[in-house]
Amino acid sequence: MSSSSYTLNRRQSPPSLVVAAASCAVRGALRPFLRRKGIDFIAILNVAEGTSDYYRRAVSLLIRDPIPVDEDCNEIAIVMAVPDGPPDARAIYDRFRYARQIVLVTERMENIPSELKAAADVIAEIPSPSADHYMAASRVAKVRGMTPEIASLLTGFSFDAIASTVRSTRPLLSAVRQLKKSIVEAEKFAPAAVKPKGPRLEEMAGYGAAKTWGLQLADDLRAWKAGEISWEDVDRGALLHGPPGCGKTTYAQALANSCDVDLVVASAARWQAKGHLGDYLKAMRAAFSQAKKQSPSILFIDECDSFGDRDRGGDDDHRDYRRQVINGLLECLDPAEGREGVVVVGATNNPSVIDRALLRPGRLETLIEIPLPDAAARVAILRHHLRDPSFENDLARFVSATRGWSGADIEKLARDARRLSRRRKVALSEDILLEVMPKRYVLSASELRHTAVHEAGHAIVAVVLACDVLKHVHIDRDAALGVGAQSVGMTVFEPEVGRVKTVSYYDDRIAMLLGGIAAETVVYGCHADGAGGAPSSDLVLASDIATKLERHFGFGEVLSVELGKGDRPLEYLRDRDPDLRSLVDARLKTQFDRAVALLSERRQELDHLTETLVDKGHVNGDEVRALLGAKAMNTESASVRT
């Protein structure tokens, strides 16, 4: 009786349109198990946010056995929506330990314990129902009046919207009118892109090549709007990269002002916040559509490193997700119909993890670095944010204390200084600025000398080996309190243009990078920890060069090339290849010993340069070359930091 009653109830109460459509969408993932009645399996279905209960009911329509329990009254078929939040593997296992057919429905794969992923026969990402699915679902749900046009319209709405609007007591056309009305209402409240307020790019300082490119773009857009040039003559986009706080977002606003166009701001996080993969892609396309409506416009996409690289590692689910996101972005960046009138500017802190396809011509085709501001730029940025024309201090102490600061750091400093000036009812001054800055301490005599020895070692090895041209050596006398690793010394070089770089050149560069700890070893018998622990530290840079020699440039034991993968491809190569690690370490030790020997022979010059740095804090390259009797050279800039 229970079997007949269950079957009869299903016939008398057809599923809702949404559940029937979800059933169509999920059928493909479960088809191998539906074909063979009674087969045992475990399936994990990843569905869009806010849809897990609909899919749970949809799957129940497909797999529930007419006899729902075995002879021991244990459930045979389990369909379970995994709740959001920290997963409880034991609770899930206890729920289905005796079942034969198990389907877990989740909106977040991270909520599925790894043990259950390993046990699953299939893990599938379920796409949103298509128009064809809604057509088929209308027959199952007995919804009259469905047409291909209405079915296509429904694909743009959430399950909740359809379930609350399309009801058995309401004609379908009436429900469609309500859905269309909701679109109109939503558009009324959708934020439209507006011309941003704030300074123009011409007024901004510290942007270097990015400012030059932006002003050229402004000229080209003016010419395009005047009909003097075609869109083919305008740059399609650029990728800005630089350290956090260097002003990439501010740049986009100033660029839009200079170009006299609208700015549409987007990011991977904003798009992903809309929901599951389908919603993510819809939000992405909507941003490009909005930029097209506001044409001419600039679409600024922040956090471009969040999109990742299709060649990066990870499990199959993550790789497939990244692939679909990047493919969707490529379609938006380079559509068949073009995107005339829309310039796309991306921003990232780490360009090395960007998929190469995004950087091809016609997409984010120009790579532009926004460096940390130099002394003149820091002063200009400060004066801009202070908004006080009467502020005429020379700012020498400010310049010294803000080496390595970003534009965002300086903006906050100006805000804090204005606040303190208002409270005390006094004029802005450099003393006010220094008072609101992070507290600093003066390096002890031993710290100062140790730093001077380290930087002198870099400089002397570089000049003697002539691997690069020394510009200057600098050490700071104080450091910020409460800050982690920070640079208190710098040796700046200009690499020689047009030089053929053989294995000896790279070995010389490694020796120069290790010259700092080599000098410490010569003077003190050991070295401190300032040469490692950060991506730009001496030991990391030297290790990367040695890795390239072995695996990129054919200077090692093999000619075959491996490029690695992920955020740190060279580190990836070393991690997976113990032989490579040994080769890299051997090369580093050889060049370290070479640098120690070189500096030991020039101990008098090392001591002299150290004393000069301790006394003056700054020595230019010509002074070091004169000390060593070496010839000056001319080239381009790079730096080594402690």
Catalytic residues: 455
- Sign (positive or negative) of CA dihedral 20, 24, 29, 34: positive
Contacts of 152 (CB under 8 A, 6+ apart): 131
The 3-state secondary structure of 161-217 reads HHHHHCCCCCCHHHHHHHHHHHHHHHHHHCCCCECCCCCCHHHCCCCCHHHHHHHHH
Secondary structure of residue 220 in the 3-state scheme: helix
Contacts of 135 (CB under 8 A, 6+ apart): 146, 148, 151
Contacts of 368 (CB under 8 A, 6+ apart): 209, 210, 213, 238, 239, 240, 241
- Going by their DSSP bridges, the two strands 469-475 and 489-494 should be labelled as antiparallel
Secondary structure of residue 539 in the 3-state scheme: helix
CB atoms within 10 A of CB 111: 16
Residues pairing with 265 in the sheet: 300
CA distance 488 to 478: 8
Pick from 270, 294, 293: nearest CA to 282: 270
Q: Cβ distance 573 to 544 under 8 Å? A: no
- Going by their DSSP bridges, the two strands 262-267 and 297-302 should be labelled as parallel
Question: HSE (CB half, 13 Å, CA atoms) of 543?
Answer: 22
**Lookup: tokens for 1:** 């009786």
CB atoms within 10 A of CB 50: 14
Residues pairing with 474 in the sheet: 490, 618
Q: Residue 352 gets which letter from DSSP?
A: G
The count of residues in the chain is 642
**Lookup: tokens for 129:** 């129902």
The b/e string for 136-151 (b: 16+ C-beta within 10 A; e otherwise) is bbbebbebeebeeebb
CA distance 371 to 1: 77
Residues pairing with 262 in the sheet: 297
Helix 603-616 / helix 621-628 crossing angle, nearest 10 deg: 150
